[in-house]
Structures are given as C-alpha cells and as structure tokens.
A and B are shown apart, each in its own frame.
Chain A
Amino acid sequence: MWSALTILFLGLFGLFLLYPLFGILKQSVMSDEGTFTLAQFSRFFSKPYYSRTIINSFKVTVAITLTTLLIGIPFSYFYSFYRLKGAKVLFVISVLNCMSAPFIGAYSWILLLGRSGVITLFLKNVFNIEIGNIYGFKGILLVQSLKLYPLVFIYMNGAFKNIDSSLMEVSANLGCVGLKRFFRVIMGLSMPTILAASLLVFMRAFADFGTPLLIGEGYRTFPVEIYNQYLGDVGTDYNFAAAISVIAILFTAAIFFIQKWATSKFQFSMNAMNPIEKKPAKGVRGALMYCYTYLLTAIGFLPQIYVVYLSFRNSEMVRFKEGYSLSSYRLAVDKLLVRSINNTMILGLGALAIIIVFSILIAYLVVRRSNFANQAIDTFSMLPYILPGSVIGVAMVVAFSKPPIVLTGTMGIMIISFVIRRMPYSIRSANATLMQIPLSIEEASISLGTSKLKTFVQITVPMMGNGIVSGAILSWVAIVTELSSSIILYNNRNITLTMSTYVAISRGSYGIACVFSAVLTLLTTLSLVLYLVISKTEDIAL
C-alpha cells in the first residue's frame, strides 16, 4: 500500500510541479531561434540595473529576518513562560497580523506615516516633530517585520513548550539563571526552531512583492523585477523573465542548503514530559512584559484597524470623502464581494484538506519508510518553498492551458497551486513532529497485535495531531493571503478576497479595497476563533 502511495505522489509532483517547472527552465536558456544560449543570464549580471535588485532583496530580507527574531523571540518567551492576562487575544491578533492581504499593510502605513499621513501631520502640527521618510528600505523593513514576527512567535511557542522543566531546574541548580539561562540553555535548546523560523521568514520576505511595490520607492527588489518582466505593462520578455526566475531559484536554494547545514549542527531529540509551569507576571518586570506584548500586537494590528475604519468612510471612485456610510460596501457587492468570500472559503478549505492529508502521508513515507524514492518526494515537496509565486503561476498556466489537461480559469488550478505552494509548511511540521515520536511506540502497538494500518490511523496520526494542525494553520494563513501566483491564475469565477483587494487597489478604488480587506480580517478572525473554540486549545504550537 505504501509503495502505491509513493508512486502516486511521484506522479502528482511530476505532473503538477516538475513538468511546469521544466518549461520555465527550458525558456531561460532558449534563444528566439530555439538554440541554447546563456545570453539572458549575462544580460542580468552585466546590467547593474538588474543585478542590484538581488543585493537589495538580500539586504532587506536579512534585516527583516533578524528584526522578526529580535522582536518575536522575547514576545514568545513572555507568552510561554508567564501567565499573561488576555493571552488568547494576544495570540489571535498576532496571527491576524500576518494574515492581512499583502498590499494592505504597506498601503495603510503610507496613510498613517507617509509624507502626509495621519500620524505624520498630527506630530508635525501638534509637536512640530518631523518623522522623516518611511519609504524605501525602512518602509519595507517596518511593514514586513510587523507582518512576519508572528511566524517566529508561533514557531517559538512550540519550541518553548517542548522544553522540559527539569532542564530548567538542572541549570538553576548549576547556578545558571536569568539572562544567562535564557541565552545558554533556552536559546540553545530552541536553536533548530529559530533556524526553521528564520528560513520561513526569509522565504516569505524574499518572495513578497506587494510591500516593495507600494512602499519601496526607488528600492528595487527581485520579486518586483520578476513581476515586471512577466507582467509589466510594457513589452514582456519571457525568456529574460524565465532567466531571472532561475536565478531566484538558485539563490533561494543556496539559502535553503545553508539553513539545512546550520540545523544539522543542532540535532537532538526532546520530548517534554514535564512542560514548564507558567509563572505569574508580577511587579515591574510583569508590567514591562504587558507593555511589550500588548504594544507590539497593537502596532502590528494598527494597519488593519485603520483599513476597517476607512471601509466605512464615504468614498467616490478614487477619493475618500467626509462622512461615513456603507457606500463602499454596496459598491463592493457589485464587485463580486459575495463570490470572493465563497471562493476564499471553498478554495482555502479545499486546499487545506488536501494539504493535511498529503502532509501526513508524505511525512510518514519520508520518516518511517525512508528510501530513495521517498527522499525524492521530500525534496520535490520542498521545492515550491523556494520558488517565487509568480514563477509557479506562469509555469502552471503555460503547462495546463492546452490539451490533454486544460485547467486554466478553473477552481482546480487555483487549488493545485495553493496546495503546491503552501504544502511545504505542513510537510515540514509533520516531518518534524513524526521525527520526535519514538518509533518504539508504534512498534509496541504492532507487537501487541494491532495491524500496521490501524497503528498508523490510531496511534501515529493522533500523536502527530499538534504538529499537523499548527502547520496547517500556517498553510491556511499563507493560502488566504496568497497573491503572487493567483495574479495570473485567477479570473472572475475563481477570484478570492485577496485578489479582489489587489484588483481594487491597483485600479485606485481604495474604498472598495478597504472593504475587501476588512471582510478578510473578519473572516480570518472567525476562522481562528472557531478553531480555538472547537479544539479547546489555547494556542497553536509547532
């Protein structure tokens, strides 16, 4: 049965991932006459106009990754080791912070802190303080850090939860407490998770093009260049675009292997038999913790609040006006609001269901039935992790717009691209969880006479539960906010809320864009709260 699954997965990855990618690779080294050439690559590296984008992207992405670690780890530490009031609210809002439509954060920050932003003018008029320019490197860093720190937070919560309290006691007995213990013991124990979170943030930040598009000004980044080459208004050059895509893939692949190598230095298995008891947050330190956690969450949530507020403002075409009404909502209904909501739910949940089932099975194949074919599946499944979304989008359309498989414009192609693009999160966490589960538990079950299948369903899967769910939540976050591949795959039948937001913003209909974004915020809030209520858990941990 397992080898049949191996073949099935190899087939699926071959058809829906390798075959489309092969098309892109071929394009990058083909001249107009159909012969082999590396001219496109030399064009990229010989023109500083293009090659500088990769340096820019690298610099800002590294800065974002470090900043998210710097603000996310203390946040998670306070949250995991102390009993904070309103912890659930902190958690839900933090996750919401990374679930907003990609453009919205940047757009909102410009309205708040831009040259004539609400806060800018307030500070200037009341206190005569100039806050300076928020565009470019700084702007991208601000928007992305506030959007991506929750990923670090979610990852670290899981790591902290797995630290056995006896380890803490032992280190205390040996005289290692306070900050020293934090850096030498706690950080050491969570190093693999820190590296995993860094990689995730790095890849998300590197691939994002919505933020630099709006707030980057002259700071030209790589994904924007790929987008321009594929989808710019002015004469697109597919061969050059394909070459840039290949360079992006090689670059992210290098980062991926460096991360993998670094992680291999920190291999150990841990299972918290005695999870750490949360201490009450008291005194000055407690107050500071409250300040830090609540302030960070609030600042991160500010853009979405402001957008919700704007969605109720009067607007006419491209301008906001005085007064409040539901006029933007009425207009949004004409602009496929209902269909966008339905599609977001159907596509999101559909893709999520497939992702959960596949990740469980793939993790089992990779971890428990390790052989060459299954290792290949593991590698293939991680490939989309490092592929820019627009590349996947274009590759899919090119591959599946002609017989025998015609999928363009269907819900199917959206689901496939969501699954391919967002499954790596779930597979990673499922893999990691399964690796932590000692094989002896399953062996015990089998030696007691339970069949292998029953053991898998009743022992292995439930034990993987936590890891899968948290991976799935990350996948869900990423699916709901998916933009870069959908841009080319969507049409009016399968349009999602995020896409509708993008369309409205790029057409300058900001009132309507705010409505779509506000509805997305509402929907994601509901989905999270519903999850927390049904599962009766406090949070999601990896």
Chain B
Amino acid sequence: MKNRLSKCLWILIVALLLALPLTAAGQKEAVDTGEIEKNLVLYSSMTENDLSNLIRLFNKQYPGVKIEVVNGSAGELTARINAERNNPQGDLMWGALSNSDGMVHSEIFEHWLTEYEDEIMPDYRSNNGFYNLDHLSTAVFCVNTDLEKQLGLNITGYKDLLDPRLKGRIIMPDPNSASSGWNNVCNMMAVFGHDSPEVWEFIEAFIKNDVVFNPASSTAFKSVETGEYVVGLTYEDGASTLLKAGATNIKMVYPEEGASASAFGCSLIKGAKHPNAAKAMINYLMSADGQSELGTALETLRFTNAKAVYDTKYLPASSEIKWVTRDIDWLIANKKQVLDHWNDLYASVHK
C-alpha cells in the first residue's frame, strides 16, 4: 500500500510542477497615451448597491472600460495601497476616505482634484487637497421595530440608548477599527460638546449598558435586521440599503439631540496604472450630471454637488432632521486622544 501511495504522490508532484510555470503569468505595463484606458481597478468600501450602479452607469458613458472592484474596509484598502506603493495595483479608491482624516494618507494619493470642486457645497470642499468628497454619511440608528415594540420602547435619541432594557442589545462598530464607528463618536461629540464632561459622562453610561462593539461596519445594520440586536449605531447608506432591499422590520432614527455627517470621497492612487480612466470615474462621481444619475439610481445616498438633482426615496428630507455641527479640525487633531480616552473607559467597564 505504501508503494502505491508514493507512486501516486510522485505522479501528482511531477504533474503539478509541470503545471506551475503556467500560473506565473507576467503583468503588462500600461503606457499613458492620454486616452481612457481599457481597464480600471477600483478599490472600494461601498455597498453592493452603490458599486453595481456606479459600474453600470459609468460603463454606459465609457463602454469599453473593464472595471474590477477590490472590496475592503478603509484600513484594509489603505494598508494595501501603502504596501503596494512601489508597484501600485489599484487606480482609485472610493468610499471610507473622509474629511476627518486630515493629511494621514497624503503619501499614497495623487494630489489632484476635479474641476467640479467649485460646484461642491462649501462645507464639503476638499480640506486636504487630494480627497474629492462626493457623498455624505450621516450617523443614524438602525432600529428593529418588532423588538422595539416587544420591549415597549420608543427610541428617538441618545437618552433612550441608556435604557436598561437595551442592556446588551445595542451594537456599534468599534471606533478603533471601523470608520462608521468613528463617525458615530464624532456625532456624540457634536451633540454633547467636543471633549465636554457631558459627552464623556454619556459615553461611560453608554458603554456600561453593555453595548457590543464589532470591528465590521456592516454588522451594525445587518444584524439588527436579523434580530440579533435591537439598535445599531450605523450610517444612512447602510441602513437605507436594507430598506431598499425590502426590509420592513427596521427603521432609521436620526437622534433627536442632533445628527451630523462626515463627507466621504474618492481619490486617485499615486502611480495608478490607468490614471485617465480613474480620473474619468472621479469626474463622473463629482459632476452634477453623474451625481444626479447615480443618486437617482441609488435612492440611498446624499451627494455633495450643489447642482445635483435626484430623489432619495429611502432617506428623509434634510429639513426633517435636526442638524448639529462638527468641529472637523478639532476631531482631526484629537482623534488619538479621544480614542485613548474611549478605550480606557472601555477597559475600566469591562474588567
């Protein structure tokens, strides 16, 4: 038996070694001719709904361009771009690049902005010179209405999150690892006052209510829909995509104490192999026409170009929401300190 085994083994090895060189196909170098290239590699953290619509609409305008998407969280993608710096594999990144990042990623992106920058609402013009901020992400609660009723609650704002009936039933993305988690912390700061005693008092009580922190952004709306949690602290686009997909057991709650948004955008990767196609896509994302078209198709996203016209069927009108203002510069400068404070509180509660 041993003999037969080893014979199989050798045959297998030889066959595989022969097959191996076939797999090590080389890469072609792109030559920049100023024309739109035939390929485009898009790094993105956006939802399926966002991506499939963008690709479909972009291809309508540029039919020959084959778009490959590499999905990942912001950290995964920026770490990847960083690592690939000497041999860039991606052309542009869309999503999870926010106006609260400051200059962190200055080295990995091309300092290039579109000509549409003047048309963008003044609050959301690029504040670092290389993020083209195309859409907004408002911090919202995703609430499971069946469970809310079962528990006899009516969740309207932050004060309700401290209710003992919600102990262990609230989920929030970990602000240390997920951009939508940090987005929610920023909103708390805007509501209760940046670094004020009130905000830290609230956060301590909030953490003490056994809130679950998950590293992945998508669980905060997805597992509310499946009933694992009653409330998820999340962002508009994620929660409203569930509504668009036909979920009837959830609702979005804009905290009555106030809501605020981060602006998110796209950026050209330094040394991109298909720079012209990438610029075409960024132009599309920033133009009034592109945002109108994409906004109409998505119905779940608010855009930044003041001239864009679209209907957001799954989002409430801006006038129905109480808005508060974030101190973006303070948040950029104090991110590390805020997170350290947050983590110390977390560690003191979860002994």
Q: Given contacts A47-B344, A230-B79, A318-B48, is CB(A403)–CB(B86) below 8 Å?
A: yes
Which residues of chain A from 497 to 542 have any CB-CB distance to chain B below 8 Å in the complex? Answer: 503, 506-510, 534-537
A464: B residues at CB distance < 8 A: 6
On whether the beta carbons of A409 and B89 are closer than 8 Å, the reply is yes
Separation in Å of the A43 CB from the closest CB of chain B? Answer: 10
With A353-B20, A506-B218 as contacts: A235 and B2 at CB distance below 8 Å: no
Taken together as a complex, chains A and B put the C-alpha atoms of A491 and B269 apart, in Å, by: 15
| Interface-lining segment among B189-197, B237-245, B274-282 | B237-245
CA A321 to CA B225, docked complex, whole Å: 12
Does the CB pair B69–A492 fall under 8 Å?
yes
Q: Are B13 and A468 in contact (CB under 8 A)?
A: no
Q: How far is the CB of B341 from chain A (nearest CB, A)?
A: 11
Bound complex: CA A238 to CA B26 (Å): 31
Given contacts A346-B23, A406-B87, whether A233 and B75 have CB atoms under 8 Å apart is yes
Q: How long is the Cα–Cα vector from A402 to B82 in the complex, in angstroms?
A: 12
| B73–A398 touching, CB < 8 Å | no
How far is the CB of B54 from the nearest CB of chain A, in Å? 14
Interface residues of A, dominant DSSP: helix
Q: How far is the CB of A213 from chain B (nearest CB, A)?
A: 6
Q: Which residue of A lies closest to B185 (CB)?
A: A234
In the complex, the answer to whether A536 meets B47 with C-beta atoms within 8 Å is no
Once the chains bind, are B83 and A394 in contact (CB under 8 Å)? Answer: yes
The interface residues of chain A lying within 8 Å CB-to-CB of B244 are: 317
How far, in angstroms, from A465 to B24 measured CA to CA in the complex?
29
Minimum CB–CB distance from B55 to chain A (whole Å) comes to 10
Closest to A402 in B: B86
Contacts A317-B245, A401-B84, A409-B87 given; indicate if A213 touches B216 (C-beta within 8 A).
yes
A109-117, A182-190, A194-202, A438-446: which lies at the B interface? Answer: A109-117
A7 within 8 A of B: no
The residue from A116, A350, A465 contacting B2, defined by CB atoms under 8 A apart:
A465
**Residue A487 CB within 8 A of the other chain:** yes
Which residues does chain A contribute within 8 Å of B23, judged by CB atoms?
346-347, 350, 411, 415
Cα distance A24–B168 in the bound complex, in angstroms: 38
Whether B178 contacts A232 by the Cβ 8 Å rule is yes
A43 to B216, CA, bound (A): 25
Contact with B along A348-371 (1 / 0, CB 8 A): 011011101100000000000000
- The residue in chain A whose Cβ has the minimal distance to the Cβ of B68 is A492
Query: Are B70 and A319 touching (Cβ within 8 A)?
Result: no
* Chain A interface extent, by class: 35 or more
Residue interface bits A307-321, CB-to-B below 8 A is 1, else 0: 000000000111101
Q: Of B30-38, B116-124, B154-162, B207-215, which stretch is located at the interface?
A: B207-215
Is B2 a contact partner of A47 (Cβ separation < 8 A)?
no
Which residues of B in the span 42-56 have a Cβ within 8 Å of any Cβ on A?
A: 45, 47-49
Residues of A within 8 A of B238 (CB): 508
Which residues of B (93-109) have their CB < 8 Å from a CB of A?
96, 101, 104
Find chain A residues with CB under 8 A from B45 CB.
Answer: 233
Mark interface residues in A288-322 (1 if CB within 8 Å of B CB, else 0).
00000000000000000000000000001111010
**B314-347 near A? 1/0 per residue, CB < 8 Å:** 0000000000000000000001100100011011
**CB <8 Å contact, B227 and A49:** no
| Pairwise interchain contact A228-B177, C-beta atoms closer than 8 A | yes
Q: Contact between A48 and B16 (Cβ–Cβ < 8 Å)?
A: no
Q: Cβ of B24 and Cβ of A412 under 8 Å apart? A: yes
| A48 lies within 8 A of B87 (CB) | no
**Distance of B76 from chain A, by nearest CB (Å):** 5
Whole-angstrom CA separation of A412 from B22 in the bound complex = 11
What 1/0 flags go to A188-228 for Cβ under 8 Å of B?
00000000000000000000000001100110000010011
A408/B5 contact (C-beta < 8 A), A317-B241, A319-B242 known: no
Chain A residues near B343 (CB, 8 Å)? Answer: 47, 49
Q: Are A461 and B6 in contact (CB under 8 A)?
A: yes
What's the minimum C-beta distance from B112 to chain A, rounded to whole angstroms?
23
Do residues A231 and B246 form an inter-chain contact, with CB atoms below 8 A? no
- A488 beta carbon closer than 8 Å to chain B: yes
Interface residues of A in 468-504 (CB under 8 A from B): 468-469, 487-488, 491-492, 503
Inside 8 A of A177's CB, which chain B residues have their CB? none
Interface centre among B180, B222, B228, B346 (most CB of A within 10 A): B228
In the assembly, what is the distance between CA of A232 and CA of B238, in Å? 19
| Contact for A409 among B5, B19, B84, B180, CB less than 8 A | B84
* Closest B residue, CB atoms, query A461: B6
Question: Which of B19, B71, B215, B221 makes the CB contact (< 8 A) with A503?
Answer: B71
Taking CB atoms, residues of chain A closer than 8 Å to B13 are: 353, 356-357
B313 within 8 A of A: no
Residues of B within 8 A of A171 (CB): none
**Docked-complex contact A408 and B245, CB < 8 angstroms:** no
Question: Shortest beta-carbon distance, A487 to chain B, in Å?
Answer: 6
Other-chain residue from B73, B219, B347 in contact with A49 (beta carbon distance below 8 A): B347
Interface residues of A in 30-70 (CB under 8 A from B): 47-49, 52
Q: At the interface, yes or no: B182 with Cβ under 8 Å from chain A?
A: yes
Q: Report yes or no: B71 in contact with A462, Cβ–Cβ below 8 A.
A: no
Per the 8 Å Cβ criterion, residues 210-258 of B in contact with A are 210, 212-219, 221-223, 225-229, 238, 241-242, 244-247
Q: How far is the CA of A394 from the CA of B74 in the complex (A)?
A: 16
B72 contacts the other chain (CB 8 A): yes
A114 vs B101: C-alpha distance when bound (angstroms): 36
Find chain A residues with CB under 8 A from B222 CB.
Answer: 318, 508, 510
A234-B176, A401-B84, A491-B70 are contacts. A116–B226 as well, Cβ < 8 Å? yes
B245 touching A316, Cβ below 8 Å: yes
Q: How far is the CB of A170 from chain B (nearest CB, A)?
A: 27
Looking at the assembled complex, report how far the CB atom of B18 sits from the nearest CB atom of chain A, in whole angstroms.
9
Which A residues touch B75, using CB under 8 A?
228, 230-234, 236
Partner of B84, one of A352, A397, A508: A397
Please name the residue on chain A nearest to B14 by beta carbon.
Answer: A353
Chain B 172-190 interface mask (CB, 8 Å, partner A; 1/0): 0011111111100000000
A508: nearest residue on chain B (CB-CB)?
B218
Q: How far is the CB of A162 from chain B (nearest CB, A)?
A: 14
Cα distance, A319 to B49, chains bound together (Å)? 12
The one of B2, B24, B72, B175 in contact with A466, judged by C-beta atoms closer than 8 angstroms, is: B2
Which residues does chain B contribute within 8 Å of A318, judged by CB atoms? 47-48, 218, 222, 225, 241-242, 245
Contacts of A349 in B (CB 8 A): 16, 19
Q: List 27 A-B contacts (CB under 8 A).
A: A47-B344, A48-B347, A49-B343, A49-B344, A49-B346, A52-B347, A115-B227, A116-B226, A218-B210, A228-B177, A230-B79, A232-B75, A233-B182, A316-B246, A318-B48, A318-B241, A318-B245, A346-B19, A346-B23, A349-B19, A402-B85, A408-B83, A465-B3, A488-B80, A492-B68, A492-B70, A503-B72
B interface residues (Cβ-Cβ under 8 A, vs A): 1-6, 8-9, 12-13, 16-17, 19-20, 23-25, 27, 41, 45, 47-49, 68-76, 78-80, 83-87, 89, 96, 101, 104, 168, 174-182, 210, 212-219, 221-223, 225-229, 238, 241-242, 244-247, 335-336, 339, 343-344, 346-348, 350
Q: Which 3 A-B pairs have the closest CB atoms?
A: A116-B227, A232-B177, A353-B16
A-B contacts besides A234-B335, A356-B12, 4 pairs, CB < 8 Å: A357-B17, A397-B83, A402-B86, A508-B221
